[in-house]
Amino acid sequence: MSLLKLNALYQTVILEHAQAPHHQGELLGVQKTTLNNPTCGDVITVQLVVDADKINQLQFMGTGCTISQASASVMTDVLLGHSVPEAQALIAEFSKLVMGEPISAASQKELGDAAVLGSVAEFPTRIRCAMLAWHAAAQGLEEASKHE
């Protein structure tokens, strides 16, 4: 088997994020949003704090495959510091990206390391893994806006 094929999905950036995820761990006293992937049993919990309309804290917990862990890690990097509507727009752009739909060059840039996960579009069975943390964040943002 050609390892080139594995390299296409598991690019170095992704492997690095999965091995040493950013913003992983519990935020004490912050509301949790937990989602699971029923096909594999993976569970991800996202916690976020919105202050003056900016996401100023965002962390995740849970276990999962390389794709779901790396995606959760880049998600925290991408969304931190953004307003709720900006973050929601970025989540929508990321969703398009992993579904293989075209996104603007500006969105590509905004997504940073997350843009590398566009390779997931070639692996339809893994799209759910890539989206898990982002779906959890979207749900968390919705709950956070309700409380405001």
Partner 1 sequence: MAITEFRADFPILKTKINDEPLIYLDNAATTQKPQAVIDAISAYYTADNANVHRGVYTLAARATAQYEAVRDQVAAFIHAPQRESIVFTRSTTDSLNLVAQTYGEQVVQAGDEIVVTAMEHHSNLVPWQQLALRKQAKLSVIQLQPDGQLDLASARQLISDKTVLVAVAHSSNVLGVTNPIKVLAQVAHQHGAIIVVDGAQTVAHQPVDVQALDADFYAFSGHKIYGPTGVGVLYGKLSLLQTLTPAQFGGEMISDVTWERTEFAPIPQRFEAGTPNISGVIGLGAALTYLQQIGFAAIQAQEQALTEALLNGLLAQSAVTVYGPQSVAQHGPVVAFNVAGIHPHDLATGLDLGGVEVRAGHHCAQPLMQLLQVPATVRASVAFYNTTTEIDHFLTTLQAVKEFFQR
Q: Which parts of this chain interact with partner 1 (CB under 8 A)? A: 1-3, 5-6, 9-10, 39-43, 63-67, 123, 125-126, 129
Cβ distance 47 to 62 under 8 Å? no
Q: Per-residue DSSP letters for 46-82?
A: EEEEEETTEEEEEEEEEE--HHHHHHHHHHHHHHTT-
Give whichever of 55 and 129 is closer to partner 1, judged by the CB atom. 129
Beta bridge mates, 37: 42
Separation between Cα atoms, residue 142 and residue 31, nearest integer Å = 12
Please report how close the Cβ of residue 80 comes to partner 1 at its closest, in angstroms: 25
Cβ distance 73 to 39 under 8 Å? no
Please report how close the Cβ of residue 146 comes to partner 1 at its closest, in angstroms: 31
